[in-house]
Chain A
Amino acid sequence: MIQLTLHNLKIMARNRHSTFWALFFPLLLVVVFGLFQVGNFGGADVNVVNNSTNEASKEFIAQISSNNFFEVSQVDSIETALTRLNNGETEYVLTIPSEFNYNMDGTLSLQYTDQDPQQNEITLLMLSNLLNQSNAEFSSRNLIQTIELKKPETTYFDTVLLGLVGLGIMTNSIISIAVKISNYRNQSILKRMLVTPLPIWKFFASEIAAHLILAIIQAIIILGLGILLFGASIRGNPASLLFIILMGSIVFLNIGFIMSAWTNSPSAASGMGNAIALPMIFFSGTFFSVTTLPWIMPVVSQVLPLTPMLSALRDIGLNGYPIWSVWQDIAALAAWIVVTSIIAIKVFRFS
């Protein structure tokens, strides 16, 4: 069986094309999100909380909006704005006082984190310049009160990075196994195995073992890239993360086996695998929180296997929770393993 597992790994290593592309897609997303995160070179993403209703405040907002340096969006409450700041969804929170006017009776408040001091300086300077232009009279006065916050514990990128680990492992497990088994069946390789005395469970066990090793390598590459290149911070016990990754991977491999049985050709298996994987990427909250989804979507999300996997990965990886605290997610994954194993064994076809 070890022989078979090693040969399987050898096959994957030589089938560079598909293995590379399977790994490439989530990595591409890591790079995209990583660049997106640090990408506003020379610009500042500002959330404005306007506590005033007067013309002056509106005029002022219009003024900063028209400046190319600022990416301005208005937010209703300071709480929302600070949450967004903490999640890394914005860089600055600018609060306009209710008594704002051109006499500058009140003080503007600018809140930001200590993540990028250089950019903070530039932003502050740009904002002062704008104010000076609007009303030179008050240029001497220090109009901006700055509040520097601690760099947030977790950034949006950290959250997405763990989502991408789940995404990569899910798509790779489902599609690669579905296509592979479909190929083996079409080429009678499965039949050829059956005429040898090899117990068939060993055949499956070695396929699963080889793919689990691939999943681990994939997770290491995705997390490594995110951490080393884009400064993601992932906490938690690596062994706990690994455990969740393996559980999720087994569920998705089983789904891949089922897909291969339900289709007659490798391309159909690939299509069906994609059709299953893609909606799951969105409904399980890989990129954004599912609680904001309308209608029954949050409920749908709860019954998908990627949801508990991501939830456990984030609780452990972002919050550093111990593994027993995510027992509900583990139980959900275990249930998925049992159900998909039973279906896979029932529907599997050798020819």
Chain B
Amino acid sequence: MDEAIRVESLKKYYGKFAAVDDISFNVQSGEIFGILGPNGAGKTTTLEILEGLHSPNDGSVTVLNLDVLKHPKEIKSRIGVQLQSSAYYDYLNLLEILTLLASFYPPNVRANPTEILRKVDLENKSRQRVNTLSGGEKQRFTIAASLINNPELLILDEPTTGLDPRSRRNIWQLIEGINQSGITVVLTTHYMDEAEALCRRIAIMDNGHLIAVDTPANLRASLEYQHAVKLTVETPLTEAQIVSLNNLDADIETKSENTYAIKLKGGTASLDLLLKSIVADNVKFQNLEITPVTLEDVFLDLTGNELQEAP
């Protein structure tokens, strides 16, 4: 399969601070590739190097088989970019902004602004200004703007940050539609559900390092345990009860006096054993939560940190 992006041993320093510290990955043509990590992990810096906004201190980066240092202009005319917080001219309407942006590209790649607005469902707002749009609409517009040159590769920096759940789903559908039309998509996010829902493969970044790159399923499977159990009991467990639970293939951690976090290994079969054991030991529980492991758990396992601060 073709490679849309190849990053090898990329390093980027700001003074002594390594924003991106020796990372390598590649993005296949046609996939949705996610870079997942907390704020300050180096996601945006990585994207901005791909976009030609910064030059790498070390390593090599090719986009659409072109070296970013040697062919910035050709890359720019073949990729679409949505910046994390880009605004647009206050005094122009949507159609005018798109027409203006289109004029920056070679004539043979320019898309029809009206058609682009239809694609993101903003056709009826084409005469409005950006500041009259809702958060979700604004974000759809910035995605529309990034499609103005019929790009082969679309780079989106946190496309849903700050949006309400409905708008987020809306954007996900839009991104999926764009991808199905044959455009490779690279996006950053700090929402693990977004990465899971959209991305074929995910790169996990933390503190400028790349920790893992794989499909969401493989990343989850890489954990020792497959289920996370949260048990809340009426009275604290006795020694005997704990020993009994420990006989299952599980790690038990006491979270507070009467809550326990259990990492349950051994797949679905051990769920059955857990329930039987709770009944057999006569544990009086108030609440029992069993969730399959998520990318959140993967991130925690790999970095020792939470991906997001608790809500």
- How far is the CB of B143 from the nearest CB of chain A, in Å? 13
Determine whether the beta carbon of A188 is less than 8 Å from that of B92.
Answer: no
| Given A10-B96, A188-B85, A191-B53, residue A197 in contact with residue B91 (CB < 8 A) | no
The residue in chain A whose Cβ has the minimal distance to the Cβ of B80 is A195
- A contact residues around B52 at 8 Å (CB): 194-195
B59 in contact (CB, < 8 A): no
Determine whether the beta carbon of B76 is less than 8 Å from that of A196.
Answer: yes
- A contact residues around B250 at 8 Å (CB): none
| Given A11-B91, A197-B76, residue A189 in contact with residue B86 (CB < 8 A) | yes
Q: How many residues of B contact A (CB 8 A)?
A: 26
A318 in contact (CB, < 8 A): no
Q: For window 79-117 of chain B, which residues contact chain A by CB distance below 8 Å?
A: 81, 83, 85-92, 96, 99-101, 103-106
B105 contact from A7, A11, A192, A197, Cβ within 8 A: A197
- B contact residues around A189 at 8 Å (CB): 86-89
A3 to B105, CA, bound (A): 12
- B contact residues around A188 at 8 Å (CB): 83, 85-87
The residue in chain B whose Cβ has the minimal distance to the Cβ of A191 is B83
A7 to B74, CA, bound (A): 25
Q: For window 7-56 of chain B, which residues contact chain A by CB distance below 8 Å?
A: 51-53
Determine whether the beta carbon of A11 is less than 8 Å from that of B89.
Answer: yes
What sequence of 0s and 1s flags, for each residue 178-197 of chain A, a beta carbon within 8 Å of any chain B beta carbon?
00000000011101111111
Q: For window 49-78 of chain B, which residues contact chain A by CB distance below 8 Å?
A: 51-53, 73-74, 76-77
Determine whether the beta carbon of B100 is less than 8 Å from that of A7.
Answer: yes
- B contact residues around A10 at 8 Å (CB): 91-92, 96
B91 contact from A4, A14, A195, Cβ within 8 A: A14
- B contact residues around A7 at 8 Å (CB): 89, 92, 96, 100
A187 contact from B51, B81, B86, Cβ within 8 A: B86
The residue in chain A whose Cβ has the minimal distance to the Cβ of B130 is A187
| Given A7-B96, A10-B91, residue A197 in contact with residue B83 (CB < 8 A) | no
A195 to B54, CA, bound (A): 11
- How far is the CB of B251 from the nearest CB of chain A, in Å? 46
Determine whether the beta carbon of B103 is less than 8 Å from that of A195.
Answer: no
- How far is the CB of B131 from the nearest CB of chain A, in Å? 11
| 19 CB-based A-B contacts, threshold 8 Å | A3-B99, A3-B100, A4-B100, A7-B96, A7-B100, A11-B91, A11-B92, A14-B92, A15-B91, A188-B87, A189-B87, A189-B88, A189-B89, A194-B52, A195-B51, A196-B77, A196-B104, A197-B74, A197-B106
Q: Which of A's residues lie within 8 Å of B, judged by CB? A: 3-4, 7, 10-11, 14-15, 187-189, 191-198
